[in-house]
């Protein structure tokens, strides 16, 4: 995730898992992911572009800063869609999704996500958010708790106003994948290249997303200051080599959210969920199935 525009007594279980490089070609079945049509939901907060893959209990994927939904690794999406009706969508101002009015915030993006859930009749879905998407997922769980059954937060940030640890590398040089995981990075690039071409988020949209993230990290969003109220079972995960979101932030978030489980992937970066998509998909599917310990 290109984060260069960013400014810098509760249950906690910490698990360490072994990371592996994913150098495989596209997994069988991913064609159904990349060929799924882009649809438009007309919500109370404007049009939202989305795709749906699979069947079963609904699972909403919330994308991060500056990315379109074509950034979701189709191998990971397919593995999740074997057990869930997966909904992925574009955030405000990206693709076919209407831009929200000012003042723009993470809380406002959570409201738009809520409006999509209502428009699609998803009821109380599971929600997985990556990076900025993880902050939106937190805000959704605070502001619209009846719409979140279980919560998965990937490489994301607390919004309580507590000190957020800045990136450990220069933002211009930071990478989603560790330097020794070039094969995993190349496999990820090849996987997302299978989607039909989609227009990138504009520089203006990236700019206001970056400002919204800065506000979240400094505690400006009401939901960010109330994450201790999250009642949904929560899984937090990240790579120990994340250059953009040091794991200290994940530990802080896991202390704030009651009963949260924190899983760390050694030798993995901000895009750990794509670097080790097979194990992460198994972890998520197990957690969403209600297993007490992933």
What's residue 262's pLDDT?
98
* Mean pLDDT score, 251-258: 96
- Decide if pLDDT at 62 tops 60: yes
Confidence band, pLDDT 50/70/90 cuts, at residue 110: very high
What's residue 291's pLDDT?
84
Inter-CA distances, 38 with 49, 87, 227, Å: 6, 11, 32
Higher pLDDT, 150 or 20: 150
* Mean pLDDT score, 59-74: 97
Question: Which DSSP helix (H) or strand (E) runs through 155?
Answer: none
CA–CA gap between residue 192 and residue 65 (Å, rounded): 17
Contacts for 214 with CB less than 8 Å, ≥ 6 apart: 6, 7
Average pLDDT, the chain: 89
Question: Which DSSP helix (H) or strand (E) runs through 294?
Answer: none
Higher pLDDT, 23 or 107: 107
CA–CA gap between residue 94 and residue 218 (Å, rounded): 25
Residue 117, helix vs strand vs coil: helix
- Decide if pLDDT at 162 tops 70: yes
Question: What CATH homologous superfamily does 12-288 map to?
Answer: Alpha/Beta hydrolase fold, catalytic domain (3.40.50.1820)
What's residue 11's pLDDT?
39
Q: What is the rounded end-to-end Cα distance, in angstroms, of the chain? A: 26
Confidence band, pLDDT 50/70/90 cuts, at residue 26: low
What's residue 173's pLDDT?
53
* Mean pLDDT score, 230-248: 95
What's residue 21's pLDDT?
39
Q: Domain residue spans in the chain?
A: 12-288
- Cross-strand pairs, 52: 87
What's residue 138's pLDDT?
98
What's residue 169's pLDDT?
55
Confidence band, pLDDT 50/70/90 cuts, at residue 27: low
- Decide if pLDDT at 140 tops 90: yes
Higher pLDDT, 245 or 22: 245
Higher pLDDT, 166 or 65: 65
Contacts for 86 with CB less than 8 Å, ≥ 6 apart: 52, 53, 54, 58, 59, 61, 77, 80
| % of residues, the chain, pLDDT over 90 | 83
181-217: pLDDT as tens digits: 999 999 999 999 999 999 999 999 999 999 999 999 9
Confidence band, pLDDT 50/70/90 cuts, at residue 20: very low
What's residue 10's pLDDT?
34
Closest alpha carbon to 94 in 157, 34, 47 = 47
Higher pLDDT, 251 or 7: 251
* Mean pLDDT score, 98-104: 95
């Amino acid at each position: 995730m290109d984060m260069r525009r960013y400014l810098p007594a509760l249950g906690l279980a910490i698990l360490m898992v072994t990371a592996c490089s994913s150098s495989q070609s596209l997994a069988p079945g991913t064609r159904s992911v990349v060929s799924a049509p882009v649809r438009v939901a007309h919500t109370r907060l404007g049009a939202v572009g989305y795709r749906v893959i699979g069947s079963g209990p609904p699972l909403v994927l919330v994308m991060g800063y500056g990315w379109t939904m074509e950034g979701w690794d189709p191998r990971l999406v397919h593995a999740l869609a074997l057990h869930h009706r997966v909904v992925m969508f574009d955030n405000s101002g990206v693709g076919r999704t209407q831009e929200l009015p000012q003042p723009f915030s993470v809380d406002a993006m959570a409201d738009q996500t809520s409006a999509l859930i209502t428009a699609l009749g998803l009821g109380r879905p599971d929600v997985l958010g990556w990076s900025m998407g993880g902050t939106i997922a937190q805000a959704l769980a605070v502001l619209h708790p009846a719409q979140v059954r279980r919560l998965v937060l990937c490489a994301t940030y607390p919004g309580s106003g507590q000190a957020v640890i800045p990136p450990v590398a220069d933002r211009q040089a930071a990478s989603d994948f560790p330097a020794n995981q070039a094969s995993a990075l190349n496999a990820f690039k090849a996987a997302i290249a299978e989607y039909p071409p989609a227009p990138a988020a504009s520089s203006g949209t990236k700019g206001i997303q970056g400002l919204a993230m800065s506000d979240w990290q400094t505690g400006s969003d009401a939901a960010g200051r109330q994450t201790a109220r999250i009642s949904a079972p929560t899984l937090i995960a990240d790579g120990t080599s994340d250059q953009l979101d040091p794991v200290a932030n994940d530990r802080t978030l896991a202390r704030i959210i009651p009963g949260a489980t924190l899983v760390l992937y050694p030798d993995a970066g901000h895009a750990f969920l794509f670097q080790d998509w097979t194990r992460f998909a198994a972890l998520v599917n197990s957690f969403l199935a209600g297993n007490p310990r992933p």
